[in-house]
Amino acid sequence: MTGEPARGTLAFLETLTQTWNLEIVAGNSLGNVLSFAAALFTTMVVARLVHTLIHSRLRTWAARTSNDLDDALIEALERPINLLILGFGSRAAVACLVLPDGLEQIVEHVLTVVVTVFIAWGVTRIVDALRTVFIDPRVAASESKLDDQVVPIADKTIKVVIWSMAVLISFSNLGYDIVSLLTGLGIGGLAIAMAAQATLSNLLGSFTIFADQPFQVDDWITVDGHSGVVTEVGLRAVRLLTFEGRIVTLPNNSVVSTAVINPSVDRRWRQDGVLTLTYDSSHDDVKRALAILGEIFDAHPDLGSDHSARFRAFGDSALEISFAYWLQAGRPRRWLDIRSEINLEIKRRFDEAGLSFAFPTMSLHVVSLPKNPAA
């Protein structure tokens, strides 16, 4: 009597084993397919649990702390961690299947590259978080603009190194000999350098700009006929924001090889000009014009006390008065507005004072010659 249940159990287990090992598709048994599905399901459940833990628990905990680093790191790592869980879970799930040798190798390589990319992406997001918390506030508080130029380039360089390491690790995991690969790149380096002369020239130009510092970010400069505010000094080019709101990109090698006019001093922009009065203006008229200019500059709220107005010269057709005033570096379009406001006020005040602007004139004196020069 006791043997019959045991034989029934053995028969059931044997049937279950046969069903589990029953091939259903492309050499994969029912067990392989069920294991694959269970691994994927478990991966998604774990990813969801981790997402809930990070989003509800860790974010709440980080919000209670006094520093911003934990908030930034949680924000940076939330998505990469979930994607890494999905990547590793997919690799484990694929390992449950029986795949042809070629296809198995391709899938393995693809998942390896994907996981490596996710890791590199997570590291770059950590770099961004550290920059946001520690570097950017100090750069904003610093009066020097050198750090505004260096930090973006250092950020790009670090990220290039991270992604280069990710590429090398990917090739190594794919079975390539990294040493031989780097050696081959060294042999072909000369050809690459010849093909990338312009890029290398721009890179060296950026180093020259950082060393000489002919201008900084937020300076107003004129280069090769282009005038605008420097918004970025990169490894390849300098970007200017013109007063009309356009972006001009100038290669670094052209910037260092041409004259740069920089009217910016001590984080201020300089505007100068020349007014011309007619020659029938009196001594008192000239003094009145100089006084009016000083009053206009003193009254404008966006200008400081550092301005000047002088009787410059007796021109060919006018009395020349030069003036200059300074404005704190700011938005280019506001600078245009201020310049327009001052010009309008100069015109109004000069009209009220009866001062006349001159324009280029030429006097011709006709001399009559005798009809008979010999007489």
Q: What is the CATH number of the domain that holds 282?
A: 3.30.70.100
CA-CA distance, 227 to 280, in Å (whole number)?
Answer: 37
Taking only the tens place, the pLDDT of each residue in 46-102 is 888 887 777 777 777 766 777 777 777 777 777 888 888 888 887 777 777 776 666
Classify residue 189: in a domain, yes or no: no
- The verdict on 76 and 206 lying in the same domain is no
Q: What is the pLDDT of residue 326?
A: 84
Strand partners, 27: none
Mean pLDDT throughout 9-34? 64
Q: Which of 8-17, 86-95, 173-182 has the lowest mean pLDDT?
A: 8-17
pLDDT-wise least confident of 47-56, 91-100, 241-250, 341-350: 91-100
H or E stretch covering 197: helix 197-212
What pLDDT is recorded for position 242? 84
Residue 8 lies in a domain: no
Residue pair 154/206 in contact (Cβ under 8 Å)? The answer is: no
Q: Are residues 170 and 65 in the same domain?
A: yes
In a shared domain, residues 17 and 39: yes
> What is the distance of C-alpha 19 from the center of its chain?
60
Which range has the worst mean pLDDT, 1-5, 157-161, 354-358?
1-5
The answer as to whether 225 is a domain residue is yes
Which of the listed residues 211, 238, 262 is the one where a domain comes to its end? 262
Residue 172 sits in the same domain as residue 111: yes
Q: Are residues 17 and 106 in the same domain?
A: yes
Q: 26 and 105, same structural domain?
A: yes
Residue 2 lies in a domain: no
Q: What is the residue-averaged pLDDT of the chain?
A: 77
Shared-domain flag, residues 234 and 146:
no
Q: Decide if pLDDT at 289 tops 90.
A: yes
Q: Are residues 152 and 217 in the same domain?
A: no
> Higher pLDDT residue, 256 or 31?
256
Q: What are phi and psi of 357, to 5 degrees?
A: -80, 140
Q: Are residues 37 and 132 in the same domain?
A: yes
- Does residue 126 share a domain with residue 161? yes
Cα-Cα end-to-end distance for the chain: 166
Show which of 247, 262, 277 is a domain's final residue: 262
Asked whether residue 373 is assigned to any structural domain, the reply reads no
168, part of any domain: yes
Show the domain range for 327.
265-352
Domains in the chain: how many in total? 3
Query: 362 in a domain, yes or no?
Result: no
Task: Give a yes or no: residue 184 inside a domain.
Answer: no
| Residues 229 and 292 placed together within one structural domain of the fold | no
Give the start-end residues of each E strand in the chain. 23-25, 28-29, 220-223, 226-233, 237-241, 247-251, 260-261, 264-265, 268-277, 303-314, 319-328
> Residue 238: which CATH number?
2.30.30.60
Same domain, 23 and 97: yes
